[in-house]
Structure 1
């Protein structure tokens, strides 16, 4: 016996984002992505500045518009092993193992930003619409992989789709020629689909499938930015928890019965510190971020409820290091290289609960370039490749085994694991309508 029980998106455009660092997108737009996401203390472009440190938009002159669109591909793989039992329920010493490849296609990834300020004003303003978060897998039903066998022996087809769009309105103020502060209230819209839905109570036929549920949220970000005017720069920012309404799922079970349930999943608070240095033809950026999953609804709790639903993902806090270098020695063609390191928030005890959210990339590498058509128009591009640096692995869990194998009911001799790679190609442009210097000359 082999059993184990177990849109936005229509404000300005539709998006489908996949994150590389947990479910937090590592960078925003072609330029920021090509710098590894580093921008808190080195604002190379307006999208990165708006995303990671609202105070740093004070360094930009005039009115600037930026738009980027990319195609994202991920290749997660799901592995599982379960022990085989005889008709008396005793282990035979044999094991049943299998592998399932994800069959999800390409996903679009856009970013839209604008920054503006007036001559001789200490105030700078910005607005943005970014896809800042997402995860998703599509593991088809598979009779050769125990985890993907039809319910109730397995979970059958495993599919998830999470997308978060954030709208921000930013204000920065120059305290003096060296220091700026910034404030950004944020509005959020998210969609979530889970097949099967582990947050719902199962019935005799297993866990249900869901429609795509939506939720709205709000939060904010504050930051400070220092520019020595001699090349050294630094920044600090804090993005609050983005508090969301509950996702309300309409569930359909395989026996055609229906039901509803709610699930609360917020977006974590993020602490960022960044350093920058500019000298001659080089711009260097280094950021460190702490993503506070341990105090975020939907991620802070984990385990089975008394009715065998899953209470949360159970993620630990995540550390992210981003670094990038820009070289401007080639006329009209700045070149960039970036690297991002991310710790894994999923420990082996809860790997089973996180099969729908496998977007964990340990190492990410980026190459980017800009072509300067004129003083006003630039074309930007970036290529990204990431890998998980090995498998996230743990035992398969079953609430019926809790009494013998607390706290989550790990099946002895079982294993579930997953790894993945990611690739992204993105292009975009930024256009300066009129700089402060141009305004001065017009007068």
Structure 2
């Protein structure tokens, strides 16, 4: 019974850690934990509580000697995504994402340590099965206005972590920190690609299509057939984890140094993850044209999907007992991991000829740019129990307009935040945060105008044991 219960707890942690999320700095959240989020996403050089596991593990050293603390959190993200092209318009129905977090931390002597899980980020859209912008397309031979599949068009990417941090007081002023992370990534994708885009990619424009199935398609085209669309479909509509799943690891390192009671600094490095391919053996690839529709079942592998290396540094100033001012700068190495989206489909042997056992390798250009995020936050202790917080962050859009996909519109830039922390009693505290990301508009290579804004919130409860 004990073993079964323990296994159930681990399974729950894995599922919750991979909860799909819609992130705001590319695929990252604008801040981790209600305190950091309310202060503009800062968190390199001051105590952000158990959320230190994502901000800077060295800040766990701010815990008091002999303390243990458990934390629970919930975060809501509410993107507003709209599309317009040629007089037609639509909006994504994926407007609410909820992400839980749990943590336990303790300090013994010079060591602070613990375990935590949270959803790190991701993205997702849902345009349903009746979108006017995805109902028609252009065939491979150039026939305009051909019908697409008429099925759901949606995407969902989730990345979560189960983290095991440790911090060590090198001196009374300097703390070193590190974290070993188990990373879980998952994806759903239901996407139509019209014949015109399929032909372009087969010619090396915007990506590439290769493999034995591509050769079979080429033979079909050479025989005189036209192709209206290809459809990639792997999805389970599970609120916790997507259909294609991969596991891996990541590391974090950090330090803090207190020059005085007034000034402290900190920095951290999150390494690029090492993830296995995101896989599912229950995927469908369909082709339709003047020959009708043919669906092929098989396995999908999303290859070389990784979370980028991130470098952050910051300062915290405490000019009085009531005021704290914090500033951070963060560099996110998107270009190393989001240059291309790579996907392989391997058909089951049970499919009819000529596709049985064949493979199709698809590469779509993304060419994301690296991102620098500047954050500023302020805290004012209105009473012994109540702290008021506000902040802002400013960044560039990492996604080039020409490669912007309506299924992955990660283009928000700036955020304006506020919140509070309230100490209920000596053991229990609550924190809340609100964030607004103003609308950003971009026009992609298909002349689709995409706009994206967000309103987000976070709520955390901590209890000292």
CA contact (8 A) 1:179 1:224 kept: yes
Secondary structure of the 1:422 match is strand
SS of residue matched to 2:231? coil
What's the C-alpha RMSD, in Å, of the aligned pairs? 2.7
| Structure 1 position 417, deviation (Å) | 2.7
Residue 24 of structure 1 is matched in structure 2 by 28
Deviations 1:352-393 (A, max 9, x none): xx32211322121211112211121111111222124x3122
Aligned 8 A contact 2:365 2:403 in 1: no
Answering whether residue 302 of structure 2 is matched by residue 263 of structure 1, we say: yes
Cα shift readout 1:220-253 (whole Å, capped 9, x = no counterpart)? 0111111123311111111000111111244324
1:172 aligns with 2:128: no
Asked if structure 1 preserves the Cα contact closer than 8 Å seen for 2:156 and 2:188, the reply is yes
The structure 1 segments of at least 4 consecutive aligned residues displaced by more than 6 Å after TM superposition are 197-203, 302-305
Using the alignment, how far apart are the partners of 2:131 and 2:455 within structure 1? 29
1:224 corresponding residue in structure 2:
255
Structure 1 match to 2:377: 324
TM superposition score normalised by structure 2: 0.76
- Normalised by the size of structure 1, how large is the TM-score? 0.80
CA contact (8 A) 2:399 2:410 kept: no
- Aligned counterparts of 2:257 and 2:156: Cα–Cα separation in 1: 39
Q: CA–CA distance in 1 between the matches of 2:401 and 2:251?
A: 33
Alpha carbons of 1:300 and 1:105: their partners in 2 closer, same or farther (altered >3 Å)?
closer
1:346 to 386, 399, 408: 399
Shift of 1:36: 1.6
The Cα shift of 1:303 comes to: 9.8
Give the Å deviation of 1:43. Answer: 2.2
Aligned match for 2:325, one of 277, 281, 284: 284
**Equivalent position of 1:63 in the other structure:** 68
SS at match of 1:68: strand
The answer on 1:74 being equivalent to 2:114 is no
The C-alpha deviation readout for 1:122-163, integer Å capped at 9, x for no partner, is 111132101111100012344643x45378646864311111
Q: Distance in 1 between matches of 2:186 and 2:11?
A: 8
**Secondary structure of the structure 1 residue equivalent to 2:386:** coil
Q: Distance in 1 between matches of 2:298 and 2:84?
A: 31
2:452 aligns with: 420
Confirm or deny that 1:123 pairs with 2:111.
Answer: yes
Q: Following the alignment from structure 2 to structure 1, what is the Cα–Cα distance between the partners of residues 135 and 36?
A: 38
The answer for unaligned runs of 5 or more in structure 2 is 1-9, 140-145, 194-207, 218-226, 236-242, 287-292, 345-359
Query: What does residue 209 of structure 1 align with?
Result: 233
> Which runs of 5 or more structure 1 residues have no equivalent in the other structure?
1-7, 81-95, 397-414, 434-443
Q: Is the CA contact (8 Å cut-off) linking 1:136 and 1:359 kept in structure 2?
A: no
Name the SS for the 1:344 alignment partner.
coil
**Are 1:373 and 2:397 an aligned pair?**
no
Preserved CA contact (<8 Å) 1:46 1:57:
yes
- Which string of whole-angstrom CA distances, capped at 9 and with x for unpartnered residues, describes residues 273-305 of structure 1? 111111221111111111101112xx1236999
* Number of residue pairs matched by the alignment: 384
Indicate if the aligned counterparts of 1:139 and 1:148 stay in contact, CA closer than 8 A. no
Q: 1:106 aligns with which of 96, 105, 108?
A: 96
Q: Distance in 2 between matches of 1:143 and 1:380?
A: 40
Q: Superposed, which structure 2 residues align to 1:399-438 within 5 Å? A: 415-433=447-465
Q: Deviations over 1:74-101 (max 9, x none)?
A: 1111222xxxxxxxxxxxxxxx432111
Instruction: Provide the rounded CA distance (Å) in 2 between the counterparts of 1:314 and 1:22.
Output: 13
CA shift, 1:326, in A, is 0.8
